[in-house]
A and B are shown apart, each in its own frame.
Chain A
Amino acid sequence: MTQLALVIDLNVCVGCHACVTSCKEWNTSGSAGPLADTMPYGKDPSGAFFNRVQTFEVGEYPDTQTVHFPKSCLHCEDPPCVPVCPTGASYKRKEDGIVLVDYDKCIGCKYCSWACPYGAREVDPVRKVMTKCTLCVDRIYDRTRPEAERKPACVLACPTSARLFGDIHDPDSEVAQAIREQGGYALMPEWGTHPANHYLPRRRATSHIHDDELLRADNPLKVDGLLPRPPKSDPSLDDVMSW
């Protein structure tokens, strides 16, 4: 069984919001109709987005990390938002695991948004129906596009390749390998929703330099005891050099 999903690398995301704007651009001009905004240039702009990038500060100054956190529907393998829908408008596709909303059936009761612990669903303020990330379902199967472009808009827009897209059930896929080998994890595992989207953790880049990497241990002159000169224990011109 296929389960399409995004894998988001928090170590690489720089919080540029390119995925947010490209998502909005694609999904507001798609076949499902505009993804509306209210007062976009007014005092209190609002609107529906499928994808948001939030910023968190982890740790206490000066030992802090700034974490940019892209957040969209996680396409849970056991989605709590689907069984609660009274009309069947909210559903999970068997063939690829994408959780979708049928905008023509939705009555806008918002119950599915209550049932989503991640706050991934947003009501369209003009159409008055529930909307959410579709993984660009109208794009990833579009055979008129070159193969390389059959990916969600956010993935193509990401300048640092922080977003990977693929089938997490295929062990050889890029996303499954990334989850396996780079410690991919799911959000709020305590509710048993089994999110398909995974996040790759921050990794602090460290390197250890050992003494034998600074001194050439196999220098043949050392065999004769001629080097290092002066000995490392003696003061030298710059307190560092010894050869």
Chain B
Amino acid sequence: MRPDYSVLLLTTLIGAGQGLFVALFTVQLVALAGQLPSPDGHAFYAHGSLLALALLVGGLVASFFHLGRPERAWRSAAMWRTSWLSREVIVLPALMGAVLVFGVAHLVGFRPVVVTLPSGLAIDATLAFGTAGTLLAFALFLCTAMIYACLPFLREWATPLTVLNFTLLGSASGFTVAAAFAAFTAPGATRFLAGWAFVLTLLGAISRTASLVRNARLKPRSTPQTALGIKHPRIVQRSAGFLGGSFNTREFFHGRPASVLRTVKWTFLLLAFAVPLALLALGGPAGSGPVLAAAFLSQYAGLLAERWFFFAQASHPQNLYYQDVA
């Protein structure tokens, strides 16, 4: 498949935004339990939510560049019963709403107690908004990943590992940016966030490697024989039926040699996993903002490469009808 930069930006930006929001709310929960010093609501939660919202909005804006008729994008919420894309279109604004409300509640100090637990713990409004936002963030990971994982004949994508990867990689980048952000706004939480960013990045590296191993061993289920229905081991295309290009020769081919794919693969393994792991181990305990910011920048660039590879590696069965291009 041809990697489209709008989709690469969309999935990586909203992944980081979702992860960042989950990280903010995790800090609030852990602080509530008394395991962390309570950060400044204004500087950490409100501005952090603003940052998460900016990432989500950036992704949404990028997604419009993928559409042929962006002015009709509002229609895409219609088919949520069957289409994961439609579900994503509903969940993304819902999450943005929850993040906004969560941030504003912290900004203005709107924290009325909603319910008091039997243990005497008071659940205030920000916790309710945060819980809703966290659930929506995970729902969005599911929707985004299932857009790809639900297509059975794109076999590189049709695996639960796709859902796991989107969730882990988004969360990892979100926790990394949260750690860098905390180094400037809530130093007490930096170590905690960097630790979890390290764990999530490590888990992401494991699951992404697992999908690389799986995909390298895939055997094609569709062949020229099933595509044409002719039983003969040697079928060679002599003509695609036209001399110029077409949608089919552009949309489904990345058009790069295998060496580029290999380079991109090692680049993303390095930038998205190895470098951030080292920088998190270095900057986390020291609470160094610039080092953690560098970890996020490296990881984000690595995830862009990872998403590029994710698309380029997927081989669409329609390419059997365009062997000359492949």
Q: Could you tell me which A residues sit within 8 Å of B by CB distance?
A: 17, 20, 39, 44-49, 52-60, 66-67, 69, 71, 80, 82-89, 105-111, 113-119, 121-123, 125, 127-129, 185-191, 199, 201-202
Interface class of chain A by DSSP: loop
Residues from chain A with a CB closer than 8 A to the CB of B67 are 107-109
- Contact present for B229 and A45 (CB under 8 Å): no
- Contact present for A57 and B226 (CB under 8 Å): no
Residues from chain A with a CB closer than 8 A to the CB of B240 are 52, 54
Contacts A69-B228, A188-B317; A55 near B239 (Cβ below 8 A): yes
Residues from chain A with a CB closer than 8 A to the CB of B316 are 114, 117, 119
Residues from chain B with a CB closer than 8 A to the CB of A109 are 66-68, 76, 85
- Contact present for B69 and A108 (CB under 8 Å): yes
Given contacts A108-B68, A119-B322, A187-B226, 12 further A-B contacts (CB under 8 A): A17-B241, A46-B245, A52-B240, A55-B241, A86-B78, A87-B72, A87-B86, A108-B67, A117-B317, A117-B318, A127-B68, A191-B152
Residues from chain A with a CB closer than 8 A to the CB of B77 are 86
The 8 Å CB contact of A56, one of B150, B152, B153, B236, is B236
A55 to B237, CA, bound (A): 6
Number of interface residues of B (CB under 8 A): 57
User: Which residue of B is nearest A83, CB measured?
Assistant: B82
- Contact present for A88 and B232 (CB under 8 Å): no
A87 to B274, CA, bound (A): 41
A116 to B247, CA, bound (A): 13
> Does B310 touch A at the CB level, under 8 Å?
no
* CB-defined A-B contacts under 8 Å, sample of 21: A45-B244, A55-B239, A56-B235, A56-B237, A57-B235, A71-B321, A86-B86, A89-B75, A109-B66, A109-B68, A110-B251, A111-B85, A111-B147, A113-B251, A114-B316, A115-B151, A118-B317, A119-B318, A122-B247, A186-B229, A187-B227
The 8 Å CB contact of B69, one of A46, A106, A187, is A106
